[in-house]
Amino acid sequence: MNDARRWAALAVLLVAEAMNLLDTTIVQVAAPAVHAELGGAISFYTVGYTLPFALLLITGGRLGDLLGRRRVFQFGMAGFVLASALCAAATTPGFLLVFRALQGASAALVIPQTIGLISVLFDGSARARALGMIGPVMGLAAVSGPVLGGLLTDAWSWRSVFLVNIPLGLAVLAASGLLAEDRSAARPRLDLLGTGLVVVGAGLVVYSLLTRWNGFLVAAGAVVLAVFALQQRFRGGLIESSLFRGWGFPAGLLTSVLFFAVMTGLTQVVVLFLQLTQHADARTAGLSLLPWSCGLAVSSVVAGRWLVPRHGPRILFAGVGFLAAGITGIALGWPLPLPLAVAGTGTGLFTVPFFTAALALVRPSETGSAAGLLNAVQQLGGTIGVAVLTAVFLATDLTVACWTAVGLTVAAGLTAIGLTRGTREPSRAGV
């Protein structure tokens, strides 16, 4: 394959990556308009996508290993386009939630394939350059998502935020022939029982958080998740048990849940505050998140190119501090652009060293499983954050929701100490 074809194939994969992030942020801004027309719980429209996406990511990666990454990528993108069209045509909140879940499940087939396919297309320094382009593309998606969601909703309708996926998805499908087929030589097995257990257990817990607190549902979900943990320990294949031999990587997973709960949940709360309390239109609400998005994009680049190579993973504590300071500013009633820019800067300073530190604790043979688990836990944290912080905001006000977010951020900083000082116990094989 010549260089022009390789870079064109990379563009296909990067567009697919960006579409996933766009579909989360763009709907956050449109959710109040959806609620005004269809009813239903506002947070369901975000969580209905992110929860199945998070819980099916690892299984989606395994399907690519078994059936071929290009084939699964194409199937997932086709499902994503179809689900987007169905979301745009939904006439009841129930139908929209079902179609959002189909979107999330389809994205879980697409996203795990991208890094593997990039690795097939490039090698050596070209591979590093190709993988390095994911960050800026995600930054651009973070900046444009809220703005595009606000503009489309205000100019036409909330349905247009789903329709925009259709031409993008069809273009990706049309160009997907540029991708080389690839699959794992190891042929890992699917763990359907483990997948079912984690979906049911997490679904019960998150459903209770989204609705009125139900202790029975939470207890039932916790029991199912405990069974899942035992099943993985003795018979499962969804999660590599060797990742939990030391305490560093588990601390990283907990840090990810806490930090990304704040990151995703806070942006949802700010949008709801502006539209429901300040009576701003969708366009204004979307534009108001620009300082956050720009701060995230710029600080990610700065951290990746200069700060982390020079200072190492401890830069993530600066990210935690900036995020906590920005949220505190919102709680104290400062004009939103400044604290949002500070919080967004903290998010960018955190993410680059966090993933570097977490993956440094795993062995080469565990990298794929660890990366998939980190991605899944990040999405699950965002789902929990939307559920918890939205519920707090709707029951109280913005100030209480922000102080709750500050508490979660401080907790993330404390668990991050375990990540940066973490160790790995030797395996039985001594590897």
Mean local confidence (pLDDT), 394-415: 97
Given a cut of 60, whether residue 431 has pLDDT beyond it is no
- Residue 378: its pLDDT value, please? 87
Q: Are residues 54 and 123 in the same domain?
A: yes
Which of 163, 180, 197 terminates a domain? The answer is: 180
In a domain, 212, yes or no: no
Same domain, 2 and 98: yes
Q: Is residue 232 part of a domain?
A: no
The pLDDT value recorded for residue 234 is: 80
Does residue 390 lie within any of the structural domains? yes
Same-domain check for residues 265 and 332: yes
Confidence of residue 124 (pLDDT cuts 50, 70, 90): confident
Mean pLDDT over all residues of the chain? 87
> Is 6 a residue whose pLDDT tops 90?
no
Mean pLDDT confidence for 240-262: 89
Compute the average pLDDT of residues 324-331: 98
User: How many structural domains are present in the chain?
Assistant: 2
Q: Please determine, for residue 104, whether its predicted confidence score (pLDDT) is greater than 90.
A: yes
* 225 inside domain: no
Task: For residue range 340-394, list pLDDT tens digits in order.
Answer: 999 999 998 998 889 888 878 877 667 667 777 888 898 899 889 998 999 999 9
Out of 57-61, 278-282, 307-311, give the one with best mean pLDDT: 278-282
Would residue 224 count as lying in a domain?
no
> Which one of 180, 200, 221 terminates a domain?
180
Do 8 and 135 lie in one domain? The reply is yes
pLDDT of residue 430: 39
175, 248: one domain:
no
Give me the pLDDT at residue 266, please: 93
On whether residue 208 sits in a domain, the answer given is no
Q: How far is CA 85 from the centre of its chain?
A: 22
Same domain, 253 and 373: yes
Mean pLDDT of 205-229: 86
Work out the percent of the chain whose per-residue pLDDT is above 90: 48
- The reply to whether 416 and 333 lie within a common domain is yes
| Cα 198 to Cα 214: distance, rounded to the nearest angstrom | 19
List the CATH number of the domain containing 64: 1.20.1250.20
Q: Which of 112, 146, 180 is the last residue of a domain?
A: 180
Query: What is residue 358's predicted lDDT score, i.e. its pLDDT?
Result: 86
Residue 170 has pLDDT above 90, yes or no: yes
Q: Say whether both 35 and 141 belong to one domain.
A: yes
- Same domain for 149 and 259, yes or no, is no
15-64: per-residue pLDDT in tens? 998 898 888 888 989 999 999 999 888 888 989 999 999 999 888 888 88
* Residue 427 in this model has a pLDDT that exceeds 50: no
409 compared with 195, residue with greater pLDDT: 409
Does 267 share its domain with 165? no
Q: Is residue 65 part of a domain?
A: yes
At residue 375, the pLDDT reads: 82
Region 130-156: what's the mean pLDDT? 80
At residue 81, the pLDDT reads 97
Q: Which domain holds residue 49?
A: 1-180
* pLDDT higher than 80, residue 3: no
Same domain, yes or no, for 257 and 134?
no
Position 424 scores a pLDDT of 52
Range 236-256 average pLDDT: 85
Q: Are 175 and 311 within one domain? A: no
Question: What is residue 428's predicted lDDT score, i.e. its pLDDT?
Answer: 41
Choice between 264 and 242, residue whose per-residue pLDDT is larger: 264
Question: By percentage, how much of the chain surpasses pLDDT 70?
Answer: 93
Residue 223 lies in a domain: no
* Residue 426 pLDDT grade (very low, low, confident, very high; cuts 50, 70, 90): very low
Is residue 120's pLDDT more than 90? no
